[in-house]
Structure 1
Amino acid sequence: MEPAGRILVVEDNLLVARSFASALQDQQFDVVLAESGEQAWEIVTTDPMGFDVAICDVNLTGLSGEELLEKLRGFAPYLRVVMTSGYVTDAVREKLNKLGAVAFLSKPVFPGELVATVRRVMPT
């Protein structure tokens, strides 16, 4: 069966990353996990056309989610980036939108909400 799309999940909390991957894989998405912004950047630059959507935590150690989003917009503008966070201000959310995030999910993110958002932003 053909995958529904290829998703990069950038999340430093392994439990959250696995729950995201499980929900997406249950819906036939091909999922690749990255534990840091640096690892995600390496993955994307190695395979620039390899992903349809990236789901990225705002609060990553090292290269932050915001910094990764900015780099991705310059390198892979076709990639749809969904940002996630347990706490973020309206000002940060507005900045993420201006940087090119296509959606924002507040944690905890429920599986149905995650899948619906990915389907909504998936390129056609």
Structure 2
Amino acid sequence: MTDDFKDEENLRELTPEEERIIVYKGTEPPFSGEYYAFFKNGVYTCKRCNAVLFSSKDKFKCECGWPAFDDEIKKSIIKIPESDTGRTEICCKKCGAHLGHVFKGEHLTEKNTRYCVNSLSLLFVPEEEVEKKN
């Protein structure tokens, strides 16, 4: 987490359910999230700080129950091995928000990586809005 986000004034206010997932490392129920079966063009940002995390170009259909990506926006994610579960947690590099987990070796895509992300940790920005900002 960068020093810019030690002050909570810079962070988006979260609902209790978003806080349970983003701050306390919870998981939303499978197949319940807004972005699970959502495939419009654009980018996905951190719900807490708006950092750009994933491109829709890297999203793929996966029956895991959560949005799945096979890549991240370069240097946007921190990966933290969990010794008790053997999984690898993924967090927003900018603010430390819990996003979900990353898995390797499942052979679901050519990149052989699956970022399994809670929809409640993300905000979608349509391609048209991204182009306006650039």
Shared fold (TM-score greater than 0.5)?
no
Bigger relative CO (Cα 8 Å, ≥ 6 apart): 2
TM-score class, shorter? under 0.3
TM-score where L is the length of structure 1: 0.26
Larger radius of gyration: 2
TM-score where L is the length of structure 2: 0.25
